Amino acid sequence: MIPLFKPFVAHECISNLEDIFKGGNLTEGSFSDLFEEKFSEYIGNKNVSLTNSGTSALHLAGILAGIKSGDEVITTAMTCMATNEPFFNMGAKLVFADVDVTTGNICPRSVRSKVTDKTKAIVVVHWAGQPVDLDEIHSIAKEFNLKVIEDAAHALGSEYNGVKIGNHSDFVCFSFQAIKHLTCGDGGALACKAEEDVIRARKIRWFGLDRKFNGLSRWDQDITESGYKYHMNNINASIGLENLKNINLIISRHIKHRNFFDLNITNKKVVKMNKPKKTLSSSWIYSLLVEDRVEFISHLKENGISCDRVHVRNDKYSVFGGLNKELILLNEFDSKLVNIPVGWWLSKQELNHICESVNKY
């Protein structure tokens, strides 16, 4: 079975882990410091705070955005529940906007229609790695004085207007979970527009203390804002460091395979996603829309190809209030969505087999 996901782990990770275990410094330290520096260089933004998960990064973004209980957050339901649960758990009301059915991304027109005097932030997800229309989202945010939080878990290496995702909005959250482009086993990062925000984030991620405090003892400093245990340890960071050395190769293969599918999947019963010219998608997954999803998935599995919805609309969960049938385009997108393998591990033979199988459906 051709896998839908496959973690990339560089062989060099093993020797680093051996050194860490022998040295005994398992928690945050030299490896996490260096990984934070190198990841910052990769995305082109020095204001980065590593975390132990993408979910923790989203929670930090919510704190920095000033989200309080009773505030409204306009977001998308077409994502992993990990996108929305941090804000829900902060007491915010989730206001789900509709999507652009050609991309799966949040629709700016729908966002604008949802703004009220209680709105605090707009949360966007770059579905499958395809960047959201950030120009329109930022225009709305500026007009109503809102913060923009990007969930870029799918979008490492993606670009908007020629600039890597991680530089455009107030807060951008990355995930290094097992099946992402870049894995640490688990982990995440928060990229901030403002330096004062990342300074604050680095304290909040470790109980409100500055681990690099220059006094006689780090315990001499005062805690002025309660924090969490959200920092990344040396074990995860060492894995991330070695895998980061291969990230250009990994992402270039995803993009190459995406381009191959764009050209060679020709079945008119299958709808491919739109890719606006001012964007570059790092193509974490390859999404298709089909009328009979059950039949299509069965057909591909009979041909040895794994496929899945990957994420389901969050408003189906009762904790979030249940299904909102007024989200017309989301209804269509969610009912037809299937994702097929597009990753770095695919051979030329497998790429051809996937195309042939899709086209024979």
236 with 258, same domain: the answer is no
162 with 258, same domain: the answer is no
**The 3-state secondary structure of 32-49, one letter per residue:** HHHHHHHHHHHHCCCCEE
| Backbone φ and ψ of 132, nearest 5° | -65, 160
69 with 52, same domain: the answer is yes
Q: pLDDT-based confidence at 326, cuts 50/70/90? A: very high
Q: What is the mean pLDDT of the chain?
A: 96
225 with 114, same domain: the answer is yes
Query: What's the pLDDT score for residue 69?
Result: 98
Q: Which of 210, 244, 278 is the last residue of a domain?
A: 244
In a domain, 8, yes or no: no
The distance of Cα 203 from the centroid of its chain, to the nearest Å, equals 23
In a domain, 240, yes or no: yes
- Strand ordering across the sheet containing 279-280: 163-164, 159-160, 279-280
In a domain, 310, yes or no: yes
Query: What's the pLDDT score for residue 218?
Result: 81
CA separation (Å) from 214 to 47, 198, 210, 218?
A: 20, 18, 9, 7
Bridge partners of 280? 159
Residue 50 parent element (H or E): strand 48-51
Query: What's the pLDDT score for residue 220?
Result: 86
Domain that holds residue 330: 247-360
Q: Which of 218, 244, 270 is the last residue of a domain?
A: 244
Read off the pLDDT of each residue in 209-232 and give the average, rounded to a whole number. 90
Query: What's the pLDDT score for residue 24?
Result: 86
218 with 295, same domain: the answer is no
Q: What is the pLDDT of residues 141-182, one digit of tens each?
A: 999 999 999 999 999 999 999 999 999 999 999 999 999 999
In a domain, 4, yes or no: no
Bridge partners of 124? 150
263 with 165, same domain: the answer is no
pLDDT at 215 over 80: no
- Whether 75 and 87 have beta carbons less than 8 Å apart is answered as yes
- How many domains are there within the chain? 2
In a domain, 3, yes or no: no
Q: What is the pLDDT of residues 78-94, one digit of tens each?
A: 999 999 999 999 999 99
| Backbone φ and ψ of 196, nearest 5° | -65, -30
Residue 62 parent element (H or E): helix 54-64
108 with 198, same domain: the answer is yes
Residue scoring higher pLDDT (65 or 22): 65
DSSP symbol at 338: E
In a domain, 1, yes or no: no
pLDDT at 283 over 80: yes
In a domain, 2, yes or no: no
138 with 253, same domain: the answer is no
Query: What's the pLDDT score for residue 25?
Result: 86
272 with 348, same domain: the answer is yes
259 with 218, same domain: the answer is no
Please state, in angstroms and rounded to a whole number, the distance separating the CA atoms of residues 340 and 149: 28
Q: Which of 229, 244, 259 is the last residue of a domain?
A: 244
79 with 124, same domain: the answer is yes
Cβ partners under 8 Å of residue 104, min gap 6:
78, 127, 128, 130, 273, 287, 333, 337
Read off the pLDDT of each residue in 6-22 and give the average, rounded to a whole number. 90
Residue scoring higher pLDDT (217 or 44): 44
Query: What's the pLDDT score for residue 27?
Result: 86
pLDDT at 216 over 80: no
Bridge partners of 299? none
Please state, in angstroms and rounded to a whole number, the distance separating the CA atoms of residues 236 and 68: 31
- What's the CATH code of the domain at 195? 3.40.640.10
- What's the CATH code of the domain at 348? 3.90.1150.10
Burial pattern 50-64, b for ≥16 Cβ within 10 A else e, equals bbbbbbbbbbbbbbb
Q: Are strands 119-125 and 72-76 parallel, antiparallel or unpaired?
A: parallel
Q: What is the pLDDT of residues 286-321, one digit of tens each?
A: 999 999 999 999 999 999 999 999 999 999 999 999
Signed CA dihedral, 106, 150, 92, 72: sign only: negative
Q: What is the pLDDT of residues 95-121, one digit of tens each?
A: 999 999 999 999 999 999 999 999 999
Please state, in angstroms and rounded to a whole number, the distance separating the CA atoms of residues 208 and 309: 39
Query: What's the pLDDT score for residue 211?
Result: 86
Cβ partners under 8 Å of residue 356, min gap 6:
none
174 with 303, same domain: the answer is no
Query: What's the pLDDT score for residue 199?
Result: 97
Q: Which of 348, 357, 327, 340 is nearest to 4 (CA)?
A: 340
Rg (CA), the chain: 21
In a domain, 119, yes or no: yes
Q: Are strands 72-76 and 163-164 parallel, antiparallel or unpaired?
A: unpaired
